[in-house]
Amino acid sequence: MQSTNEEHQWISERTKTFDSSGIRQVFSLASKLEKPINLSIGQPDFDVPDSVKRTLVEAIENGQNGYALTQGAPPLREKLQSQIDSEFDHRDREVFVSSGTSGGLVLAMMAMVNPGEEVIFLDPFFVMYESLVKLVGGIPVAVNSYPDFRPSIDKIEAAMTPRTKMLVVNSPANPTGVQFSDQEMRQLAELAKEKGVVLLSDEIYRLFSYDEPFVSPARYNDQTVVIDGFSKSYAMTGLRLGYVHGPHAIMEAMLKVQQYTFICAPHPVQIAGVTALDTDISQHVDDYRKKRDFMMDRLSKYYEISPPNGAFYLFPKLPGMNGDEFVARAIENNLLVIPGKIFSHQDTHFRISYAASDDTLDQGVEILKRMALSASNAGR
């Protein structure tokens, strides 16, 4: 059924400033293919830990299904606060529970970014950053980080203006898998502090650090706002549980917005989150390190790939064609990957998620090798 002109007039202008997620479009396509080799989806291939499932079921059966406090159920919030205090020892750092890290990002933008203010992030970037900035009337400023996807302090400082309100940092990063070094995090933290800019650190992949310990910029800037969650570490993507910590005044502003939007994260899921925090996922991290090594060993001979040291993504350079063409050819081979332009203002790369079974990775690698060789032969 076609929409009428009147219906189009009912739609707000803010929704017209960005498009639907290209990743979701690929996911929709995946649902229509029979047994695709899926290297597109950014969620763990392991299941929610059994102990977390049992706690969730028990919470539901015991009637803990009503609203939680807006700031979070006390058992979870207190446990999170204890861990955060132990790591940072900041006098003014409070935590609240959000409806996923995406919910945390929405609240951060709504609580801190005014129309016309600028938000800086690196290109490539997680798909939500640019759209959420536009949603609140802000101006997204993407700083090019090609070819190695590392933060250039000089470039970031050059992008700052009197209108700059926020600097968003994502490490380990989606879509590149790059994890910033201790020195890079210190420089970013000190730059934000010097310029009086809010530093927002998206740390959803922090436990998936393979080659060196993860360092939060909050270690070097006590005004840093940190967003984290349970989706990737504990495979709880559909359970929508995240948390945010930072200075009291900012947390209070974000909670005020949460009261009138999400209200609270699902109460029984918060109870399960307490169990999750006591669950060891180091074996999964080791498994993903091996998957990263396997993919790099098999594909780096055929594609130009900046070495990933965290998360579970590779961001290879396209072999002499644009992203849509490459993805279309992959689909012809029953393979699903994501065109890099979804995460970037450039169309030069594509994203692979190696959060998949070893058999799926093996099949996907063979197809990607054939596609690279075919593109090489066609270019001769």
Tell me the CATH number at 258. Answer: 3.40.640.10
| Judgement on whether residues 343 and 195 belong to the same structural domain of the protein | no
Judged by DSSP in three states, 119 sits in strand
pLDDT of 194-220, one tens digit each?
999 999 999 999 999 999 999 999 999
| Judgement on whether residues 111 and 229 belong to the same structural domain of the protein | yes
Q: Which pair of structure tokens corresponds to residue 12?
A: 């707000």
Residue-range definition of the domain harbouring residue 24: 5-48+281-378
Tell whether 53 is covered by a domain: no
**What pLDDT, on the 0 to 100 scale, is given for residue 107?**
98
Domain boundary among 230, 252, 277: 277
Q: Which pair of structure tokens corresponds to residue 298?
A: 């098999």
Tell whether 112 is covered by a domain: yes
| Judgement on whether residues 286 and 240 belong to the same structural domain of the protein | no
**Sequence-separated (6 or more) residues with CB below 8 Å from residue 186:** 217, 219, 220
- The alpha carbon of residue 119 and the mean position of all alpha carbons in its chain are separated, in whole angstroms, by 17
Nearest-5° Cα angle at 314, 308 to 218: 45
Tell whether 57 is covered by a domain: no
Per-residue CA distances from 286 to 192, 207, 208, 289, 309 (Å):
34, 11, 9, 5, 12
| Judgement on whether residues 74 and 20 belong to the same structural domain of the protein | no
| Total domains present in the chain | 2
**What pLDDT, on the 0 to 100 scale, is given for residue 267?**
98
274-280 contacts at long range (C-beta below 8 A, 24 or more positions apart): 274/55, 274/75, 274/76, 274/79, 275/49, 275/51, 275/52, 275/54, 275/55, 276/49, 276/52, 276/230, 276/233, 276/234, 276/236, 277/76, 277/79, 277/80, 277/83, 279/49, 279/51, 279/52, 279/234
| Judgement on whether residues 38 and 88 belong to the same structural domain of the protein | no
Tell whether 56 is covered by a domain: no
**What pLDDT, on the 0 to 100 scale, is given for residue 190?**
98
**Is 1's pLDDT higher than 60?**
no
Tell whether 58 is covered by a domain: no
pLDDT of 271-322, one tens digit each?
999 999 999 999 999 999 999 999 999 999 999 999 999 999 999 999 989 9
38-43 mean pLDDT: 92
| Judgement on whether residues 273 and 294 belong to the same structural domain of the protein | no
| Judgement on whether residues 128 and 269 belong to the same structural domain of the protein | yes
Owner of token pair 């790099």: 296
DSSP-H helix ranges across the chain? 5-10, 22-32, 50-61, 74-88, 100-112, 127-135, 153-159, 182-195, 248-259, 267-277, 282-299, 323-332, 358-378
| Judgement on whether residues 85 and 127 belong to the same structural domain of the protein | yes
Domain boundary among 242, 259, 277: 277
d(CA 372, CA 123): 25
At 12, which CATH number?
3.90.1150.10
**Sequence-separated (6 or more) residues with CB below 8 Å from residue 248:** 92, 94
Tell whether 54 is covered by a domain: no
| Judgement on whether residues 156 and 109 belong to the same structural domain of the protein | yes
Q: How big is the chain, counted in residues? A: 380
| Judgement on whether residues 334 and 260 belong to the same structural domain of the protein | no
| Judgement on whether residues 294 and 271 belong to the same structural domain of the protein | no
Is 325 in contact with 375 (CB distance < 8 Å)?
no
Tell whether 215 is covered by a domain: yes
Tell whether 299 is covered by a domain: yes
pLDDT greater at residue 180 or residue 375 = 180
Domain boundary among 219, 254, 277: 277
| Judgement on whether residues 120 and 178 belong to the same structural domain of the protein | yes
**Sequence-separated (6 or more) residues with CB below 8 Å from residue 288:** 208, 210, 312, 354, 355
